[in-house]
Each structure stands twice: as structure tokens, then as C-alpha cells.
């Protein structure tokens, strides 16, 4: 079962080969890179919302330099201290998934069995995120209308991204 909910009827989504489906018959294709598009057209306020390809590439290059590793390490320590054996975690506005992957790695290295999801409004960011972290699920979605059940995650991570 997915952490995501159907953006049209809020029912639980099941991840099957090639698509996420809800019991109401709504279906959302999984892109080649592994992310799903859950942003309804009425929540899409421009043709290509969020960070564009160049911004994503520039940030990926910068983050790979390790300058923000101390922040990631602190976040991992806090999350490990605050969460249980099987935490459900959402990285909202996850960008290209550098923090998502880092946190996922730290939780698994500590013997936890997390369920991890990332959302961003930029498909360019999610192309990289979904390739980077295969053990998480990723969706194009707005942080102002997250496709989640109330109380659906134990940890909400938000690094430098807008949040309602």
C-alpha cells in the first residue's frame, strides 16, 4: 500500500505495475523514472510548476559537494531519536531527493524499516529523486494540498521548501 491518497477522491492508493489505483477507479501512471503525477489540473497554476531543469541540476551539483552534510546529519539524528521501528516519513518539497535519500539511508543503517515518500511540484526534481532513491515513492504534488491521509505519516520533513 502507498502512503499516498487519491488526489480526486482521497481513497487509499495501491501501487501496481505501471500505475497507482484507487478503489474508485482513478488511475495514475508511473513515469519511466518511477514517480507518479498526483497534481490535479486545477491545482497546477503554470505549465511547468516548481524548479526547472537547470535549477535542479545546479542544486544537485552543489549538494554533492557535501556543504549541507552537517544539516543532514543533524536531521537524521533528530529523526532517529523521535521515530520508532517502522516510521512513515514524507519529505515535502523534496527537490531532487538528496535529504530524502540521506534520511532513508540513516534509518535503514540503524535497523529501522521506514516507509518513505517524497513530493515536489517539479517533475524535473522528481526525475532525479526517483532515480536516486529506489526505496521510496515519489509524487508530483503541491505541499498546499498533500495527497495524504490525516495523520498518514509520523515524520514530515521540509527542507527549504514552501509548506502550508
How many CB atoms are located within 10 Å of the residue 88 CB? Answer: 18
State the Cα–Cα distance between residues 43 and 58, nearest whole angstrom: 27
Cβ at position 120, least distance to ligand SAM in Å: 5
Cβ at position 41, least distance to ligand SAM in Å: 15
State the Cα–Cα distance between residues 63 and 34, nearest whole angstrom: 22
Q: 127 φ, ψ to 5°?
A: -60, -45
Which bin fits 97, alpha (ψ -120 to 50), beta or left (φ > 0)?
left
Among 6, 117, 141, 153, binds Zn ion (CB under 5 A): 6
For Zn ion, the closer of residues 7 and 50 by Cβ is: 7
State the Cα–Cα distance between residues 146 and 51, nearest whole angstrom: 18
Select the span of 13-21, 23-31, 78-86, 89-97 touching ligand SAM (CB under 6 A).
89-97
CA nearest neighbour of 6 among 19, 21, 123, 156: 21
**Contact between 142 and ligand SAM (CB under 6 A)?**
yes
Task: State the binding string over 36-65 for ligand SAM (x if CB under 6 A, else -).
Answer: --------------xx-------x------
125 binds, among Zn ion, ligand SAM, none (CB under 5 to 8 A by kind): ligand SAM
Report the interface residues with ligand SAM, using CB under 6 A. Answer: 50-51, 59, 93-95, 98-99, 120-122, 125, 142-144, 159-162
Report the interface residues with Zn ion, using CB under 5 A. Answer: 6, 8-9, 11, 22, 24, 26
Amino acid at each position: 500500500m502507498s502512503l499516498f491518497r487519491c488526489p480526486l477522491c482521497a481513497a487509499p492508493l495501491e501501487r501496481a505495475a505501471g500505475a497507482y489505483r484507487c478503489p474508485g477507479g482513478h488511475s495514475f501512471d508511473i513515469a519511466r523514472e518511477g514517480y507518479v503525477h498526483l497534481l490535479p489540473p486545477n491545482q497546477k497554476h503554470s505549465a511547468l510548476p516548481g524548479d526547472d531543469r537547470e535549477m535542479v541540476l545546479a542544486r544537485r551539483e552543489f549538494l554533492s559537494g557535501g556543504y549541507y552534510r552537517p544539516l543532514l546529519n543533524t536531521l537524521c539524528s533528530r529523526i532517529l531519536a523521535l521515530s520508532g521501528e517502522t516510521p512513515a516519513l514524507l519529505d515535502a518539497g523534496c527537490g531532487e531527493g538528496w535529504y530524502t535519500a540521506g534520511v532513508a539511508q540513516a534509518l535503514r543503517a540503524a535497523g529501522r524499516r521506514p516507509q518513505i515518500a517524497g513530493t515536489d511540484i517539479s517533475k524535473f526534481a522528481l526525475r532525479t529523486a526517483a532515480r536516486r532513491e529506489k526505496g521510496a515513492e515519489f509524487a508530483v504534488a503541491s505541499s498546499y494540498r498533500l495527497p495524504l491521509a490525516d495523520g498518514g505519516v509520523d515524520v514530515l520533513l521540509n527542507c527549504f521548501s514552501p509548506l502550508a
